[in-house]
Structure formats: C-alpha cells, structure tokens
A and B are shown apart, each in its own frame.
Chain A
Amino acid sequence: MAKQVCYEDVELGTEVTPLAKIATTRMLVQWAGASGDFNPLHYDEDFAKAMGVGAPIVHGALKRAWLGQLMTDWIGEDGRLKKLSCQYRGMDYPRKMKTMEEPRDGETWWCKGKVIKKYEEGGEHLVECEIWVENGKGDRTTPGSALVALPARKKK
C-alpha cells in the first residue's frame, strides 16, 4: 500500500503518479461486456472502416475509466474523488493478441496528471488536476480534469 498523500504534500505542478495501460482487442471485448457498450465500432473491422475510423478503436469510456483509476490510486484510501471529466479527442487502436493472454508488441498508454490548483473550501482541502491519457506517440488523446479532496495533516 502506497503512503497516503496529504494536502500538504502537493504543490502546483506536482505530478500524479503515472499509470501504464495496454489496450488489447481482448480488453475491448471484456470492456464491452462489462460496460454494456456493444457498438460494433469497437470490434468489427468492416464497420469501423465504413465509419471512417480505419479499424476498431478503443472505447472512450474505457480510457475515462483508466483516468478514474489514475486518480483513485493516487489519492489513496483517505482521499475522495469529487469530479472527473474528459473529452474523447483522438482515436486509439488496441494491440492485437499474440496468445490467449499476451498482446503483440506495440504501444503502451500512459495516464498522467499534474496539480493545477489547491484551495480550501467548505472545510475541505481540495486539489484540482489536469489529467490525460497519452498514447505511444505522446499524443494526449483523452484530456480531462479531476477535483479531489485530500486529508490534511493534523496541526501540532
């Protein structure tokens, strides 16, 4: 278990601990089932081509869920995620599978963030972060923001 991050530990520009993810065709099937998004855009080559995106693309909502994990991992048990938003700006294409479990070589996605504001309001210690999912080329395909409440150290 990582050490609990507190309000006093963060400054403007502090990095949210990055989270690596690898989207695979297998993961997209699992996500479709779990989320209930059965749009063929995410699994049917011909349909995706006809829609003009070239090949099946990663669900925007899956990338959003990764950003949720980025923040909840970082704020720990005593932090609270109050707001999360993101825009689906760029397409991402999953790696195909080499074996049942193992993906082929390809890109890795990084979920990242940094603190852009910290303030106290209504008795809460609030921290606002700019967050994003970055693809293997370094493009931010899913930019967004998050607002969290962090615990404060007890005053001595």
Chain B
Amino acid sequence: MANGSLITEELRKLIGVTLDTIVFKVEEGAIQRYGQAIGDPNPLYNDPDFARKTKYGRLIAPPGFTGWPVKVGRPTEKLFAFLVKAGAPPRILDGGIEFEFVEPIGAGDVLTATTKIAKVGERETRLGKTMFTTAEVTFVNQKGNVVLRSWATIIQF
C-alpha cells in the first residue's frame, strides 16, 4: 500500500474488466410489484390490458427497474465480495446511480446484463479515507439492442 492508498494493484487491474454477465426475463408480475412498491399508479406498469393498447404493446418497466430480476443473480453482492477480496475496505455504502434509458424495457423481454468496473478512485471524506468505484452495467435485449446503461457508485471505507 504505497502512500497508504486504498487502491491495491489487484483493484487497479480490475478497471475495464467484465466481471459478470447474467441473463434474465422481465416478468409481468415483477413489473407490477415494482410499480406498486414505488406507489406509482401508472397503468403502463400495472394494467396489462391498458398497456396492450398503447404504442408499447405490453407492460413497461418503470425507470430504474433493474432490481428484483437482476438481484436473482446477486451481482451486487458478488461485486462487493469481489472488491473486498481484491483489497478494498469492507464497509460499503451505495453512493448513487446514473441511468441512460435508451429503449423501453417491457414484460417478456430477455435482457443480458454485463457488469464491468469503469473507474476506481479515492479521496478523504468525513468517513476517513474512502474509495469510490463506478460499476457500469449494460443491458441488451433479445434483439441485440442496448436498452439501458447504468453507472453505480460504490463507496467503501
């Protein structure tokens, strides 16, 4: 640990590396439960008959719907374990996220989510020496189109 840096040689080597790829189907019920949990009555998330008559033709996923179906593969936990194993500090906070919505995601779509570490940095915060990792996840649908990109910030201290 030269100069007391949190970023080990192993961590540096992870930048740009694809860590995990999972494939999952977007279920109608998962969309409905997600919409209800937000408290969003939008019929595009709740009412399949309504949604069928719209330009989307099916229930669509609320923005940021990458939770439950993706979590089945537990990529977040895997990613944390991976980072800690590579020498990152063990205490973890979710720092935030950025989404780029490219195309609608709808019920029945089969998505492939690929995770890679885009960036690792560190600075002094009120938590002490703190490491910031940006995990980039790209979601591609069954037609091969990128539908969503996200960049999550993982805070470790």
Contacts and interface: CB of A to CB of B under 8 A. Distances in A.
Contact of A87 (B42, B70, B72, B95): B95
B64 A65 contact: yes
Interface stretch (A34-42, A97-105, A114-122, A126-134): A34-42
Contact of B38 (A33, A65, A86, A144): A65
Contacts, number: 93
Q: Rank and list the top 3 A-B pairs by shortest CB-CB distance, nearest first.
A: A36-B71, A35-B67, A87-B96
**Chain B interface, >50% SS class:** mixed
A49 interface: no
A30 B37 contact: yes
Interface string B78-100: 00000000000000011111111
A64 B40 CA distance: 13
Given A60-B94, A64-B97, A144-B96, A84 B64 contact: yes
Contact of B93 (A21, A65, A88): A88
A69 B38 contact: yes
Contacts of B30: 34
A71 B99 CA distance: 13
Contacts of B62: 65, 68-69, 72
- Where chain A touches its partner, the secondary structure class is helix
Contacts of B98: 83-85
Contact of B68 (A34, A65, A73, A86): A34
A128 B33 CA distance: 29
Contacts of A36: 67-72
Interface residues of B, number: 28
Interface of A: 21, 27, 30-31, 33-37, 60-62, 64-66, 68-69, 71-73, 80-88, 144
A71 B64 CA distance: 12
Contacts of A88: 93-96
B70 A68 contact: no
Given A36-B68, A36-B70, A61-B67, A68 B96 contact: no
